[in-house]
Amino acid sequence: MNGSDIPELTTLCYIEKDNKYLMMHRVKKENDINKDKYIGVGGHFEYGESPDECLMREVKEETGLLLRRYRPRGIITFIYGNDIVEYMHLYTADDFTGTMTDCNEGDLVWVDKDKVCDLDVWEGDRIFFDLLIQERPFFSLKLVYSKDDELISAVLDGESLAL
C-alpha cells in the first residue's frame, strides 16, 4: 500500500459520446501500474475532496474537459498483490464542454463501446463494462489481482463471480 496502511482513494470516469468511451492509453508514465493498459480518466483524491470534486478536477486536468452531467455508477475495491488497496469511485459522464487537451499520463482516444474489451484492459474492467452496458444500478465490485496482473477473485454486491 505504497508504504502505509492507508488505502488509496480514487475516481475513474468513462466519458461517453456517440456510443464511444474516452479511454486513456497509459503509455507516458514510468512505474505505472496501468502501463500500456487502456483505462478511463480520473485519479487520486486530494485531502478533503469529495468524490465529485475529485472527479471534476481530475477530468479537467487530464482532458481539459468540464463535465456538465455525470453519475456515480459504483465502488470498485481494487486489490493488487499485498501492496495496493484502492477504493475507486466509478462514474460515467455524457455531457461536457471544452476542448480536449493532451495528457501527460497517456494518449486520449475515443473507442467504440463494443470494441473496448478488445483493447488491453484489466480483466476486471471487462466485468464492470458489462455492468455499465446493462445499466446496472449502483454496484460494489471487489477485484483481487496477483502481482502478475492475474484476476484471482471478483465479488459483485457480496456474491463471488465465477472467473
Contact 26, 105 (CB under 8 A): yes
CATH assignment of the domain containing 28: 3.90.79.10
pLDDT surpasses 60 at 1:
no
* Model pLDDT, residue 109: 96
**Cell representation of residue 54:** 475529485
Q: Are 155 and 161 in contact (CB under 8 A)?
A: yes
* 2 found inside a domain: no
Mean pLDDT computed over 62-69: 97
Give a yes or no: residue 131 inside a domain. yes
pLDDT in tens, 9-64: 999 999 999 999 999 998 887 777 888 899 999 999 999 999 999 999 999 999 99
Q: What is the DSSP letter of 131?
A: H
User: From CA 56, how far away is CA 67, in angstroms rounded?
Assistant: 7
123, pLDDT greater than 90: yes
pLDDT at residue 2 above 60?
A: no
5 pLDDT above the threshold of 90:
no
Does the residue 64 lie in any domain? yes
Per-residue confidence (pLDDT) for residue 82, from 0 to 100: 86
pLDDT confidence tier of residue 4, bands split at 50, 70 and 90: low
Radius of gyration for the alpha carbons in the chain, expressed in angstroms and rounded: 15
| Position 1 in a domain | no
Residue 145 counted as domain residue: yes
How do residues 73-122 score in pLDDT, each as one tens digit? 999 999 998 889 999 999 999 999 999 999 888 999 999 999 999 999 99
Mean pLDDT within 139-159: 95
Closest to 42 in 3D by CA, of 85, 7, 84, 90:
90
- Distant-in-sequence, close-in-space partners of 30: CB < 8 Å, separation ≥ 6: none
CA distance 142 to 77: 4
Q: Can you give the residue range of the structural domain that contains 66?
A: 15-160
Domain count, the chain: 1
In a domain, 111, yes or no: yes
SS3 86: strand
Full-model pTM: 0.92
